[in-house]
Structure 1
Amino acid sequence: MHTGDKTAPVAETAATKTRRTFLTGAAAATGAVAAGVAMPNIARAQGTTLRFQSTWPSRDIFHEFAQDYVNTVNGLSGGRLTLELLPAGAVVGALQLQDAIIAGALDGGHGVAGYWYGKNKAFSLFATPPAFGWNANQMLGWIRYGGGQALYDELVQQVLGLDLAGYLMAPMPTQPLGWFKQEITSPEDLKNLKYRTNGLAADMNQKMGVAVTIMGAADIVPAMDRGLLDGAEFNNPTSDRLLGFSDVSKTYMVQSYHQGSECFEVIYNKTKLDSLGDEVKQILKVAADAASADMVWKAMSRYPKDLQALKDAGVNVIKTPDSVLQAQLDAWTQVVDELSADAFFKKVVDSQKAWAKDVVGFELEWEVPRSKAFEHFHG
């Protein structure tokens, strides 16, 4: 269960135990080497296999996205570096991934930075930031060209002193408000509702009187089935369909400001990563960019089909009312104002707001509205 700052990452003793178990009892399996362009000058990484776990169940499309990244890395390395992908729970649970990588039980992993916000709430600014009017692709533009990567590195390696290095990648569409026992018609319907979300969205929802719980993807539907949750959000129609949300609810509220932009995070044990050399680091970064583009295109193909499949299965898809959206924005203002008492959090937020003002302002002035053309040709 989660109440504000009380959500904490896995204890160090658990991570240490995991590392000991791994070192003494688990032999590293040899992953399948993907065919790719040979790069014979990368001698330092020759024959290296890294144990790489996702935070997603194997049936989720997010684990498939993680596999796409792994395949890209393995192909670009020409067989000299192999990532061996494991699903959530293979070594540790989803919310224990970061500590397991620091401890050396895993070499790297695929997830979202918001999962670590129990260590520092600024982590969520690099995963599910406030609704500043931007989308996830514009947020990643801030990471690449607005100073976001340097701020992320500062948080991980200086503010917290963690032996980690990460790449932020793969912009996601706006997330739905989620699955509920009955339609949400006003902000009052959310008060005291037992609801799953993660990151700063937890703080925002608490300002609206929601009783928030944080849990990994695999646990959400069973919790709803047992009545431990009244509502929950995960991410997208494909994941939600594969995870079985429609088995426990037929009310799907779409459009929300609680997580209007989100991206994935790929993290590695920094000591291990540095030992592989700069050329391998470049492969991992280029692979993140390539997998980002491919994920966006794959989502375009899959998400509409799965949303229609949910409708065909009797799911009632309902737009979140404007009164709830406005209440979310008001709650975001409170969260940003309060957490900006922390100097580092404020530095990141100020940077994000300046970027969003320029980039979104340009888009709104420059881009022609698509809705008119869509209605003209599609009705």
Structure 2
Amino acid sequence: MKSSLKTLALAASLALIAAPASAQEKVRWGVPMAFGSNLLALGDTMPWVSETLKKISGGTINLQVFEPGKLVPALAIFDTVSAGKAEAGYSWMGYELGKVPASALFGAVPFGMESPQFAAWMYFGGGDALLKEVYKPHNVYPIFCGSISPEAAGWFRKEIKTPADLSGLKFRAAGFGGKVYQKLGASVTVLPGGELFQALEKGVLDGTEFSLPTVDDQLGFYKVAQYYYMPGWHQPSTNQYLYVNLDAWNKLKPQTQAQIETTCTAAVTIALAKAEALQGAVLAKFEKEGVKARQFDKVMLAAFAKATKEVMAEESAADPTFKKVYDSMTAFQEQNRKWHDYGYLPRDFK
């Protein structure tokens, strides 16, 4: 009798242990991406999220990634997810700037917060709640799902010595960085990464910004543009998001939602760590290739900063939601300024 009771108890325990796995809902989504999965720390983060979700869910959550252009154009992620033509997509936030003015604030802000501080604002400064508020009217549930180190300021076919050298320059830039370049007289266009090499080679562009040294290396910009400028004043952090159709998100069980959001939180760490780990070696390679690395001097940075203030003031005046988000960001950055100035070693200290 005791043996039978033990057997029944064991069977009941095993059933309870197995219940969560068997009850786990199955998710099968196609996820178009704005960046190729070959682009280190930028395009390979979503594939990492996909594989990790398969493991932690026991195979019940399958977010199948698709390369740019395979399902939708690289710059059409927001529209596709908003319309419900795909349950989810992965992109830098800001290509929808014309429809969602505050969007690019979450993607990158000129002279804004670097990745660790941006993450602090998102998770502990009210940023994530504002993000959800901004996108809810567009039927999108966005999840912070990757952040990388500062981009380079850009590749140029000629040396840029003064702000006047930007006048008439044909330059590719996205987000508010592009608007700042326009303020300084450049002719700005937005093209996806896969089209930039040819545009530089043929002279359609005089210069471009795109991403980290590792990514720029993979795209071959050093072969068609000689001057490489830093720092990435226009994007001190570059932030990627998993865009989820709000209706599709609301259908998920809380357990599934938690698995997806937790994995994206881990992806922020993975992307930033990879980005920081790889750039030094690539800069050394560029030097061997004859690339002329430059830093914009204080005169150039002051010109960019002045134009940035003008752009942000104009955008804030034009859109209350933009102002609400930007005010939150700048207040958080200012609150932490003394800590960053006093708590960290000066960057010019050796």
Instruction: Give the TM-score, by structure 2 length.
Output: 0.90
1:220 partnered with 2:196: yes
Q: Secondary structure at the match of 1:287?
A: helix
| 1:359 equivalent among 310, 322, 336 | 336
Per the TM alignment, residue 222 of structure 1 is displaced from its structure 2 partner at its CA by 1.5
8 Å CA contact 2:140–2:244 kept in 1: the answer is: yes
Report the secondary structure of 1:85's partner residue.
strand
Q: Aligned residue pairs: how many?
A: 332
Task: Tell me the SS of whatever aligns to 1:115.
Answer: coil
| CA RMSD, Structure 1 to Structure 2 (Å) | 1.8
Does 2:131 match 1:152?
yes
> Secondary structure, in 3 states, of the residue corresponding to 2:99?
coil
**Equivalent pairs: percent with the same residue?**
27
* Larger-gyration structure (1/2): 2
Bigger mean CA deviation after superposition, 361-370 or 183-192 = 361-370
Aligned residue number for residue 50 of structure 1? 29
Quote the residue 2:108 is aligned against. 128
Deviating 4+ runs (over 4 angstroms) = 42-45
Give the structure 1 partner of residue 314 of structure 2: 338
Q: How far apart in 1 are the matches of 2:100 and 2:29? A: 27
> Alpha carbons of 1:42 and 1:202: their partners in 2 closer, same or farther (altered >3 Å)?
farther
What is the letter of the counterpart of residue 244 of structure 2?
A: Y
Distance 1:80 1:97, change over 3 A: same
User: 2: distance between equivalents of 1:235 and 1:127?
Assistant: 13
- The alpha-carbon deviation at position 332 of structure 1 amounts to 0.8
- 2:232 counterpart of 1:256: yes
Per-residue Cα deviation, 1:333-355 (whole angstroms, up to 9, x for no partner): 10111111121111111111110
Of residues 253-262 and 87-96 in structure 1, the stretch that sits farther from structure 2 once superposed is 253-262
1:39 and 1:85 map into 2 onto residues whose CA distance is: 29
1:320 aligns with 2:304: no
Cα distance, 1:291 vs. partner? 1.3
Q: Secondary structure at the match of 2:95?
A: helix
Q: Distance in 1 between matches of 2:85 and 2:283?
A: 38
For structure 2, the residue ranges without an aligned partner over 5 or more in a row are 1-16
The 3-state SS of whatever aligns with 1:252 is strand
Query: What SS is found at the alignment partner of 1:121?
Result: coil
Q: Match of 1:193?
A: 169
Note if contact 1:175-1:256 (Cα within 8 Å) is conserved in structure 2: yes
Structure 1, unmatched stretches of 5+, are 1-37
**CA gap 1:329/1:40 in 2 versus in 1, 3 angstroms:** farther
The answer to whether residue 249 in structure 2 is matched with residue 278 in structure 1 is no
Please, what TM-score do these two structures have when normalized by structure 1?
A: 0.83
Letter in 1 for 2:115: A
Is the contact made by 1:101 and 1:107 (CA closer than 8 Å) also made in structure 2?
yes
What letter is aligned with 1:256?
A: G
CA distance in 2: counterparts of 1:115 and 1:40, whole angstroms: 43
Equivalent residues of 1:251, 1:315 under 8 A apart: yes
Residues of 1 paired with 2:202 and 2:146: CA distance?
Answer: 33
The answer to whether structure 1 residue 329 and structure 2 residue 305 are counterparts is yes
SS at match of 1:293: helix
For 1:1-379, list aligned pairs within 5 A.
41=20, 45-61=24-40, 62-132=42-112, 134-157=113-136, 161-341=137-317, 342-369=319-346, 371-372=348-349, 375=350
Answer yes or no: is the 8 Å Cα contact 2:37–2:47 preserved in 1: no
- Partners of 2:261 and 2:255 lie apart in 1 by 10
Give the counterpart letter for 1:308 in structure 2.
A
- Cα contact 1:63–1:87 (8 A) shared by 2: no
SS class of match (2:20): coil
Per-residue deviation, 1:148: 0.9
Cα distance in 2 between the residues matched to 1:152 and 1:66 = 19
Q: Distance in 2 between matches of 1:227 and 1:126?
A: 32
